[in-house]
Structure 1
């Protein structure tokens, strides 16, 4: 993927830079409170800006890891990641993560960012399979993933707990 791509929804998608780290942590801490579908809540993002900057810097030398930012002006409205194992037997598998801020959801941005991650994976010379895990009741996300060719691989029963209720998680994969 080129360093910067203009999408059909007037957003710009570009590779994250270490200088974006504080804004990335802030974005995650805000969106964590907007949805119950993430693995963390408001102000619970587990990495500091310094750790995120280090991770982004490390990605530059890795063929199977990336973080793409979706921006409108200077505002981060979405983040997509592909993370691959460093273990030789699993280098071909990239794990996808994506989040769009609630105020920008439902407008096609998720599809655009997903397609950018898929294109990046197809062209990185390493990834042959993209996996993701989503909560099994996240119907809107699952519908998008299936439209993009992801297949259901399995269910993790009672995989997450919000303090009141257990939720199943769904494993999905796209073979490139």
Structure 2
């Protein structure tokens, strides 16, 4: 079940992030390193509390009353960027490949079409996260750019930051080859 996140979900969201960052299989999927895991519950609660008033979306996916995934969308605050925002999400590893990411994004897209002036959903995905890249492409996101070797891991290896976007309806002009 998908629902709007509440203050009481802050710890669960942080635990999901920690699980992804600390897992040997998924540690390279987030920008945060195992040495710098976000753990500030108060800060997470504040983000959840102010989310809707800022034009943001913060949702969770529950199974048996347990939060097992989340999606956050933050609308850019600068006037010239206000037509766009960025998303991030995480799902507990044992629940991956079950369609939860698809459902979270579908919920975001449904919500986004009702938002006044929102035209573009942006994201960055680490190039080693092939599962996420396939999901985003399947959902209609297109690659817009790539920052090569943008991420440097503790073991000295690198990954690219792949920039992707989803355009809502036909709100974006087709000038300059964009659609």
Kindly indicate whether the alpha-carbon contact (under 8 Å) linking 1:68 and 1:81 is maintained by their aligned counterparts in 2: yes
Larger radius of gyration: 2
- For this pair of structures, how many residues does the alignment match? 164
CA distance, structure 1, for counterparts of residue 65 and residue 20 of structure 2: 17
Partner of 1:104: 95
Compared with structure 1, are the counterparts of its residues 20 and 140 closer, same or farther at alpha carbon in structure 2 (3 Å cutoff)?
Answer: closer
Partner of 1:9: none
CA distance, structure 2, for counterparts of residue 102 and residue 24 of structure 1: 13
Compared with structure 1, are the counterparts of its residues 75 and 42 closer, same or farther at alpha carbon in structure 2 (3 Å cutoff)?
Answer: farther
**Pair 1:54-2:43 in alignment:** no
**Structure 1 runs of 4+ off > 4 angstroms?**
none
Partner of 1:127: 118
Deviation at 1:28, TM superposition (A): 1.8
CA distance, structure 1, for counterparts of residue 84 and residue 57 of structure 2: 13
Structure 2 unaligned blocks of 5 or more: 169-179
Partner of 2:144: 153
Partner of 2:17: 28
Kindly indicate whether the alpha-carbon contact (under 8 Å) linking 1:130 and 1:175 is maintained by their aligned counterparts in 2: yes
Deviations along 1:88-140, whole A, 9 cap, x unmatched? 11111110111111100011111111111111111122321001111123222
Deviations along 1:31-69, whole A, 9 cap, x unmatched? 222312111245843251111111111113122x11110
Deviation at 1:76, TM superposition (A): 1.4
What is the DSSP-based 3-state SS (H/G/I as helix, E as strand, rest coil) of the residue aligned with 1:116?
helix
What is the DSSP-based 3-state SS (H/G/I as helix, E as strand, rest coil) of the residue aligned with 1:124?
coil
Query: Equivalent residues in 2 for 1:75-90 (5 A)?
Result: 75-90=66-81
Deviation at 1:160, TM superposition (A): 0.6
What is the DSSP-based 3-state SS (H/G/I as helix, E as strand, rest coil) of the residue aligned with 2:53?
coil
Kindly indicate whether the alpha-carbon contact (under 8 Å) linking 1:79 and 1:100 is maintained by their aligned counterparts in 2: yes
Greater helix share, 1 or 2?
2
Q: State which drifts further: 91-100 or 136-145.
A: 136-145
RMSD: 1.6
Kindly indicate whether the alpha-carbon contact (under 8 Å) linking 2:16 and 2:91 is maintained by their aligned counterparts in 1: no
TM-score (norm 1): 0.86
TM-score (norm 2): 0.85
Structure 1 unaligned blocks of 5 or more: 1-11
